[in-house]
Amino acid sequence: MNRQDRADVVDREMATRLLPDAAVMALGRWWSENAGTYADGTPGAHTIRYTPSRWAQITPWPSALALTSHTGDAGVSRAEVTLIVADALRREAFKEALVATYVWGKGKRGTPRGSGPATLQKILAAEGLDAALATAVTALYEHGSREAYTALHQRIPGFGRSFFTKFLYFTGKTLQPAHGPGALILDRILSLRLRSLAAAVGRETGHDPDGSIASWVWADWNWSPHRYEVYLSFMHAAARQLAGTDGWPSGTAPDLLECALFNAAWETSS
């Protein structure tokens, strides 16, 4: 059995087992502490703080974000970004939609000379960006999340998966994909969570006793379109699993699980 075959077996086992008890308990604790914030069962109230003045060189700047002349901090929630993206997509202002999702994703980590504004400026200046974004939006609406991911995978220098999946996620809140599960954010932290789950399954089944397969498929960069599809399938199934447990709202949205997984951690057996 080659490495990919072993990875496929571990993926199938994860799809069957879903979240272990330790993860369910950790997520339950997170929910008990945050139920008031997310009372509607979605992460729409999830708010990120950012400093508008640090993004002063970025155009086009969404009018619904705080003016870049504002020197203090501001906040923007997922629900507000969703509205900004919906408005931008109606006008086919794809770069404006990207800016909103990027600023939300970077938050206060963006600095005048740091990777946030500087990298975004390079992305916005990249040849073919508008066409790539338009293709991804069309692919999401007409085909599904994997095809939209494929449209942006390794297309624009500096526009990595952690950030273009944010663009796909917020786009998907406006344009539900015709086929398959809705797009979700996948970044390094979430990949680490899935790697931990995969490593535990690999040890227990003997298909990945040293965790090397988990480390390979859930590396913290360059996830393939297939890996993104595996991630989405797992997350949507795990959201249904959580919805049937005590202490979680019925009809748990997969993006609420994504938000919780980002913020909750648990110990795994070695």
In the predicted model, what is the mean pLDDT of residues 135-155? 96
Residue the block writes with tokens 């919805």: 243
Residue that wins the pLDDT comparison between 157 and 177: 157
203, two tokens: 């040890």
Question: Do 147 and 171 meet the contact criterion of CB atoms below 8 Å apart?
Answer: no
pLDDT at 175: 87
In the predicted model, what is the mean pLDDT of residues 193-205? 95
Tell me the domain boundaries of the chain.
Answer: 3-34+187-263, 47-174
Amino acid at 78: R
- 39, exposed or middle or buried, with CB in 10 Å at 0-12, 13-18, 19+? exposed
Q: What's the mean per-residue pLDDT of the chain?
A: 92
In the predicted model, what is the mean pLDDT of residues 260-265? 89
Q: H-type helices in the chain, by residue range?
A: 3-17, 21-34, 78-90, 94-106, 115-125, 129-142, 145-152, 161-174, 188-205, 212-217, 225-243, 254-263
What are 77-103's pLDDT values in tens digits? 999 999 999 999 999 999 999 999 999
pLDDT at 268: 59
**How far from 120 is each of 101, 112, 125, 126, 163, CA to CA, in Å?**
11, 11, 9, 10, 10
SS3 sequence of 190-236: HHHHHHHHHHHHHHHHCCCCCCHHHHHHCCCCCCCHHHHHHHHHHHH
The pTM score is: 0.94
pLDDT above 60 (res 115):
yes
pLDDT at 108: 82
Pairwise CA distance, residues 149 & 178, whole Å: 14
Pairwise CA distance, residues 9 & 244, whole Å: 26
In the predicted model, what is the mean pLDDT of residues 133-145? 96
Maximum CA pair distance of the chain? 59
